[in-house]
A and B are shown apart, each in its own frame.
Chain A
């Protein structure tokens, strides 16, 4: 886990599969209002692709550094979600009432679409960062070290 996987087959297959999984996550995220899926599923699929990345390439590789950088986004998803609700408040409506999202030049369906999409992006970021954070804490938990409780 801490360094790159030895097998060339695993590396090549992961290079092929990881972008595919990420593309599918984005598809599920942006298509969630027309088909099954949404923010939660998109975030979880993104998490699995990131876990595969650091299991195969290790945390020292460029891809692994990106995984570690994603941890800095902890709480960003909540800010996005609550921020959309706040924008609706500023627009003169209730909290999370996307009809009052005050964006000039867009009609009502597009307004709803943008509001729900931003909220879904918030959920996806939150879920993805949380999943990566849990797995990284488990994987880098040093068992040799004694705890002084």
Chain B
């Protein structure tokens, strides 16, 4: 009972933070509310059992992205920080809620969360869950999938991150530094 109330409260906080990020009048406040949104999202991930994703969301979304946004804001002129929002167009006000209702209606056809007979859970997951310890001798299934079964994926992801860092350094640093 209390558990269900907690989840409803968490989702309410999530939606509130997400809409406040868009509605608030100043960029600085918007950045902080976005950080709190990421933190609530991390709690939702932890509730769904994806602790790894919750870790990354909390550290990157609430920590690193906030710092990046703030440093960028400090570099811009103070007059750019206040927002003058034009009123939203009528088509958006009417159309977006309709689209949301349509998406919710479509979500009814999805498999229930955690259903063992849903297609993602009967395709290759059982193989990993049953054989990963015999194959890789690693207790954590997530680690064995990431680093062993799909080591090439992780290697190429690392290359992508490396390339992103090089590109940022090339674009942002002045020559001679």
Query: Is A56 on the interface with B (CB-CB < 8 A)?
Result: no
Is A44 a contact partner of B60 (Cβ separation < 8 A)? yes
- What is the CB-to-nearest-CB distance from A97 to chain B, in angstroms, rounded to a whole number? 8
B68 adjacent to A138 (CB under 8 Å): yes
Interface status of B24 (Cβ within 8 A of chain A): no
A63 at the B interface (CB under 8 A): no
The answer to the question of B124 belonging to the interface, with a C-beta cut-off of 8 Å to chain A, is no
The answer to the question of A40 belonging to the interface, with a C-beta cut-off of 8 Å to chain B, is: yes
Contact A138 B56 (CB under 8 A): no
B98 on interface, CB distance cutoff 8 Å = no
A77-B136 in contact (CB<8A): no
> Chain A interface secondary structure, helix, strand, loop or mixed?
helix
Chain B residue nearest to A75 (CB atoms) is B162
**Does B116 belong to the interface (CB within 8 Å)?**
no
Contacts A38-B147, A45-B59; is A78 near B172 (CB within 8 Å)?
A: no
A48 touches B64 (CB 8 A): yes
In the complex, per-residue mask of B50-62: 1 if CB is within 8 Å of any chain A CB, else 0: 0110011001100
Interface size on B, residues (CB 8 A): 43
Contacts of A139 in B (CB 8 A): 71
Category for how many chain A residues contact B: 35 or more
Which residues of A (71-101) have their CB < 8 Å from a CB of B? 74-75, 77-78, 81-82, 85, 95-96, 98
In the complex, the chain A residue whose C-beta lies closest to that of B59 is: A44
- Among A41, A47, A55, A135, which residue has its beta carbon within 8 angstroms of that of B52? A41
Contacts of A75 in B (CB 8 A): 162
Q: Which residues of A contact B59 (CB under 8 A)?
A: 41, 44-45, 48
B67 & A78 in contact (Cβ 8 Å cutoff): no
Q: Show 21 A/B contacts (Cβ-Cβ < 8 Å), sorted by A.
A: A1-B74, A36-B52, A36-B55, A36-B142, A37-B55, A41-B52, A48-B63, A55-B67, A74-B166, A77-B162, A98-B148, A108-B137, A126-B162, A131-B64, A134-B169, A135-B67, A137-B171, A137-B172, A138-B71, A141-B173, A145-B174
